[in-house]
Amino acid sequence: MFKILKYSFYDLSRSRWIYIYGAFYLLLTASLLWLGGGVSKAIISLMNIILVLVPLIATMFGVMYYYNSREFTELLLAQPIRRSHIFFGQYLGVASSLAISLLLGVGLPFVLYGIFTSPEIWNFSVLLLVGFFLSFIFSAVAFFIALRNENRIKGFGLAILVWLFFAVIYDGLFLLALSLFSDYPLETFAIGASMFNPIDLSRILILLKLDISALMGYTGAVIQKFLGTMMGMACSLGVLLLWAVLPAWGIKRVAVRKDF
């Protein structure tokens, strides 16, 4: 599996897109830090961008990579290698190269700006951690979708739809539910519902770190009580991990049974 991971990683590191992706973050972060002023403000702006862009790029890239390397995959399938190893190797190759681009692109300017001496270091780490998780989660989802669909157009469409659902539609439905049932106590529901969307969960994790919880009134108090503690943090990271593991398990299931 690691050999295949290595191959996909090298393959991707020769591709232009991954560099463009990294360079984009580098440019963005640097300009936010030096032009916008202030680590804290840069973290908030980056959060908005990372929460939208990382899932989108990971989904698109995952689907694209799977379809493009299909011939190589078929070649590998002819070899005596376990199927799950082939696909896991490819998936982890894509996810880790995306994550490394993100790490370098966002991390380098912050290190040069002096994040290690700043009190914001924890907020920054949460931001990076969340970016990592989102890369892994959404490329797994993308691989799963691509494996299930032979038709490229259908696969791409579905992947975009999934991204759109988690990034926008889910929150719309969430808000609708909140306002429809506003007569009932909804704090537990709000926590529960945000657990089902990795993007929401990531956003709340960062916002809590940035102390916006004070704005949230009673809901914020309940969320802070749940997520603000070590236990809650571990729990929500566990949920994020679960979000990465579930589609990966799906990849395995589909890959093993699929008739190529």
Partner 1 sequence: MRTTIFLITLLFTAAVIKAATITVCPDCECSSIGQAIESANAGDEVLIKSGLYQEGNILVDKALRLRGEGWPVIDGENETEVITVTASGVTIEGLVVRNVGTSYLEDRAGIRMQRARNFIIRNNRLENTFFGVYLEHCSDGLVSGNLIEGQAEEEMSSGNAIHLWYCKRMQVEENEVRGHRDGIYFEFVDDSRIRNNTSEDNLRYGLHFMFSNDDDYSRNTFRRNGAGVAVMFSRNINMWENRFEYNWGRAAYGLLLKEIYDAEIRNNTFLENTIGVYVEGSTRIRYRHNEFNRNGWALKMSGGCLDNIVNENNFLHNTFDLSLNSAPNNNSFDGNFWSDYNGYDLGRDGVGDVPYHPVKLFNYVVNRTPEAMVLLRSLFVSLLNFSEKVSPSLTPANVADNAPFMQKLNFSKDKPAY
Contacting residues toward partner 1, per CB under 8 A: 41, 44, 47-48, 51-52, 167-169, 171-172, 174-175, 178-179, 182, 186-187, 189-190, 194, 199-200, 203-204, 207, 211-212, 214-221, 223
- CA-to-CA distance for 100 and 104, rounded, in angstroms? 6
Residue 186 or 235 with smaller CB distance to partner 1: 186
Q: How far is the CB of 190 from partner 1 (least distance, A)?
A: 5
**DSSP collapsed to 3 states, 99-163:** HHHHHHHHHHHHHHHCHHHCCCHHHHHHHHHHHHHHHHHHHHHHHHHHHHCCCHHHHHHHHHHHH
Measured between alpha carbons, how far is 237 from 224 in angstroms, rounded to an integer?
A: 15
Q: Which one, 7 or 165, has the nearer CB to partner 1?
A: 165
User: Which burial class, exposed, middle or buried, applies to 199 when counting CB atoms under 10 A from its CB (0-12, 13-18, 19+)?
Assistant: buried
For residue 16, the minimal CB distance to partner 1 (Å) is 28
CB nearer to partner 1: give 92 or 208.
Answer: 208
User: How far apart are CB 201 and partner 1 at their closest, in Å?
Assistant: 10
DSSP per position, 84-101: HHHHHHHHHHHHHHHHHH
Closest by CA to 73, choosing from 195, 230, 255, is 255
**Rounded least distance, CB 42 to partner 1, Å:** 13
CB nearer to partner 1: give 5 or 130: 130
Please count the other Cβ atoms lying within 10 Å of the Cβ belonging to residue 106: 26
Residue number, 94 or 207, with CB nearest to partner 1: 207
Q: Which two tokens stand for residue 58?
A: 């990971």
Quote the least distance from Cβ 242 to partner 1, whole Å.
20
Phi-psi region of 112 (alpha: psi -120 to 50; beta: other; left: phi over 0): alpha
Please say which residue, 24 or 174, places its beta carbon nearer to partner 1: 174
CB of 167 to partner 1, least distance (A): 5
Q: How far apart are CA 61 and CA 84, in angstroms?
A: 20
Complex with partner 1: residue 84 or 219, whichever CB lies closer? 219
Tell me how far, at minimum, the Cβ of 97 lies from partner 1, in Å.
25
Q: How far apart are the first and last CA of the chain?
A: 20
